[in-house]
Amino acid sequence: MYFTYNKLFLIMGKLFVISAPSGTGKTSLIQAILEDMVASNTYLGISCTTRKARPKEEDGVSYFFISQMSFMEKVKNNDFLEYAEVYGNFYGTPKDWVLSVLSKKENVLLELDIQGALQVKKAFPEAKTVFIIPPSYEDLTRRLETRDQDSKTEMAKRLKEARNEVNIGKDFDQVIVNDDFDAALEDLKQFMFTSEGVTNERSEIIKNSLDLLLD
């Protein structure tokens, strides 16, 4: 499943991997940062999938739609940075596409679950991992209730998963708290595109929120 990292890519583009518990606002933050001029040379990763295309989805834009036989052949040939089965369909990040973009000195941003993020970090140690957290579990519960997509049983499951994910995500290269959307977006931009990184003030807020979640 993994490949040997080639140090040649140290002088190429950067690979960012963003993960978060469900309901934390990860997708909205990713959409916002990709629309910012600072990310003009940064591209959202495109996954291969065995599921059928939905209306308005384009092959090579939304996903690379392939057969299960082709997917399994790629797994056998170690062609994915990471892959997983989700509800009977397979999804994987194609290594050749990622390396092709990086070789042009452009950046790639992958939106993955925490296990996928760990797989990529193991395969590509220079990848920069970001874990987004809510300010508290109470806040996360309110967000899940507001979006009204889950039953109470499913919501309880997501909150339990969130606790497990925070215990892993705390060790990512950067933790960002989505307590205020604009502030969280600025933190993400600072980490990804500046040498200074997140400000001391925001770092303290992140630490306090992380301590609360881990208590």
Q: What is the CATH classification number for the domain harbouring 198? A: 3.40.50.300
- Cα-based distances in Å from 142 to 2, 19, 65, 133, 135: 38, 20, 36, 14, 12
In a domain, 202, yes or no: yes
In a domain, 68, yes or no: no
Q: Can you give the residue range of the structural domain that contains 112?
A: 12-45+106-214
Do residues 15 and 31 lie in contact, with contact meaning Cβ atoms separated by under 8 Å?
A: no
Percent of the chain with pLDDT over 90: 85
Q: Which of 100-109, 154-163, 186-195 has the lowest mean pLDDT?
A: 154-163
> What does the alpha-carbon distance between residue 139 and residue 137 come to, in Å, rounded to a whole number?
5
In a domain, 84, yes or no: no
pTM score, two decimals? 0.90
Do residues 114 and 165 lie in contact, with contact meaning Cβ atoms separated by under 8 Å?
A: yes
**Cα first-last separation, the chain:** 35
| Number of compact structural domains in the chain | 1
Q: How confident is the model at residue 7 (pLDDT cuts 50, 70, 90)?
A: very low
